[in-house]
Structure 1
Amino acid sequence: MNPMPANSNADHAGVTPLTLGLREDGFAFVQAADMHALLAAHGRLEDWTDFVASWNELPIDNYLAAVGRQRRRRHAVYCAPSRGPITRAPHQAHFQTLNYNTLQGDIERWFEPVDAAIAEGPTLSTVLGFARDFFAPLSPQVAAWHVEVHQFRIEPSATQAGEPTPEGVHRDGVDYVLVLLVDRKNIRSGTTTIHTHDGREVGSFTLTEALDAALVDDARVFHGVTAVTPVDTDAPAHRDVLVVTFRALTA
């Protein structure tokens, strides 16, 4: 699909052409150059090198390993008011019901926390600020958001493909999702597909460059990512993404 133009010119309510595209289609693909411009308009990215390097320190997801799959991850939770500072919440479990995760639903999953230097650093703060300000005009009635941050590394090998979404095509059980590619090395495929509730595919694209991004209205569409395999089976391979989810907090 063609990427959505990331015109940052907004009307008085903060609505941009990108926002309108998400409102109309339920998803948007933003190319790296456009995403960089959007992020730079919201804050600083000077720790980007350290941010990327932090994916080298992700521990194994033991819950997934228990069912014969493999990936690495860390997790953090934030509270984001519709306006004002976004603050990190105490470390807590990640939970999805079986309705949204048929592989590992109804389980409180405790992952190692995102390192403090990354969690409080300028790059992640900028990403969170952009995402909050982007999604807010879509739900102006929401006063505050429960935000979860996931660092994921998928490592395919010569004997096993890597599965970015082992639960298959799914919804996350939140309101909005941002998927940001951080690094991609020696892999093929990893195509994101977007589906309606009846399973019809309505979009597909592949995150190939650092800062390529997908924006998803989770209530409206399902999403999945095809398995990745190494191009050179004798060399290390990985797909690193940052996933940020927003769920409205109710009074």
Structure 2
Amino acid sequence: MDTVLTDTPALPPNPHADSLQALNQHIVDTGFAFVPGWQMRDWLAPGQLTDWPQFSASWDDMPHDTYMADGGRYRRRRHATLSATAHGIQLEPHQPHYQSLDYNPLNGGVVRHFAAVDTAVATGNTMQQVLTFCHQLFSQLGQHTDWHIEVHQFRIEARPQAQGKPTPEGIHRDGVDYVLVMMVQRRNVSSGTTTMHDMQLRELDSFTLTSPLDCAIVDDKRCMHGVTPVEVTDPAQPAYRDVLVVTFRKR
């Protein structure tokens, strides 16, 4: 079933992000921010999210991640590489993904080849709106416009006798400059709480991405993050958590 973006009643300003200027300042002050989906809709020009049904449905056709060192079969994913300059955002030829063991002690240290994000999804209106938002925000924060971008589609599946682990490597950094994690849809799961930490692993905050377009934004050089496992609510129904992860690294 496609996730539908419905009209949302007016809500009071979120203390983490009641304007783009406030969002920028909050990240400067704390190193991270939670942005609710209703706010992201305004910033992403909702009239332009015309391909949202196709965008969200693309999570339904993803292969398993075969690089899980814990043997888990709970994660599906696709991956794409892009670049951004002052002149715009460009999809790059498909490339493998690599993280060192310093950043990913479970699955790092090997070159990982994932299925590509469908080109129509990567170049579609929703993805381009999200990437443009990230480019503008991160370029302002980092005082830089030339970026290496990676996009990851993740589906974390839970089963009655097995949790799904969004971050099986634990509390971590991604080894980039900035990270955006955007909720696409949740079905029949509980928990999946995002936790933010300083470099000494002290917890700074926690929140749960529940609605489409809910986002966590992280200054990866200043904060660490993790997500608690998701569990099935109704054993008779499929259970999963779909998110888009976008990382920006200075070139």
**Structure-1-length-normalised TM-score:** 0.92
Q: What is the aligned length?
A: 238
Determine if contact 2:139/2:145 at 8 Å carries over to the other structure: no
Do the aligned partners of residues 48 and 3 (structure 1) sit closer, same or farther apart at CA in structure 2, a change above 3 Å counting? farther
Residue 215 (structure 1) shift: 0.4
Of residues 203, 217, 220 in structure 1, which corresponds to 2:219?
Answer: 217
Alignment match, 2:105: 102
User: Structure 2 regions of 5+ residues with no counterpart?
Assistant: 1-13
Give the Cα separation in 2 of the matches to 1:125 and 1:61: 25
Residue 64 (structure 1) shift: 1.5
Determine if contact 2:17/2:33 at 8 Å carries over to the other structure: no
- After superposing on structure 2, the runs of 4+ consecutive aligned residues of structure 1 that deviate more than 2 Å are 65-70
Q: Determine helix, strand or coil for the equivalent of 1:86.
A: strand
RMSD: 1.4
Residue 23 (1) aligns with residue 28 (2): yes
Residue 69 (structure 1) shift: 4.4
Q: Determine helix, strand or coil for the equivalent of 2:115.
A: coil
Residue 74 (1) aligns with residue 91 (2): no
Of residues 19, 25, 48 in structure 2, which corresponds to 1:7?
Answer: 19
Q: Determine helix, strand or coil for the equivalent of 1:234.
A: coil
Of residues 241, 247, 250 in structure 2, which corresponds to 1:248?
Answer: 250
Residue 18 of structure 2 aligns to which amino acid in structure 1?
Answer: A
Residue 185 (structure 1) shift: 0.6
User: Structure 1 regions of 5+ residues with no counterpart?
Assistant: 9-15
Give the Cα separation in 2 of the matches to 1:167 and 1:146: 23
Determine if contact 2:182/2:215 at 8 Å carries over to the other structure: yes
Residue 112 (1) aligns with residue 115 (2): yes
Determine if contact 1:55/1:153 at 8 Å carries over to the other structure: yes
Residue 78 (structure 1) shift: 0.3
Bigger Cα displacement from structure 2, 131-140 vs 149-158: 131-140
Of residues 189, 192, 212 in structure 2, which corresponds to 1:190?
Answer: 192
Residue 67 (structure 1) shift: 2.5
Alignment match, 2:162: 160
Of residues 159, 172, 175 in structure 1, which corresponds to 2:174?
Answer: 172
Q: Determine helix, strand or coil for the equivalent of 2:222.
A: coil
Alignment match, 1:90: 93
Q: Determine helix, strand or coil for the equivalent of 1:64.
A: coil
Determine if contact 2:69/2:107 at 8 Å carries over to the other structure: no
Q: Determine helix, strand or coil for the equivalent of 1:216.
A: strand
Identity of aligned residues (%): 51
Alignment match, 2:130: 127
Residue 65 (structure 1) shift: 7.0
**Structure-2-length-normalised TM-score:** 0.92
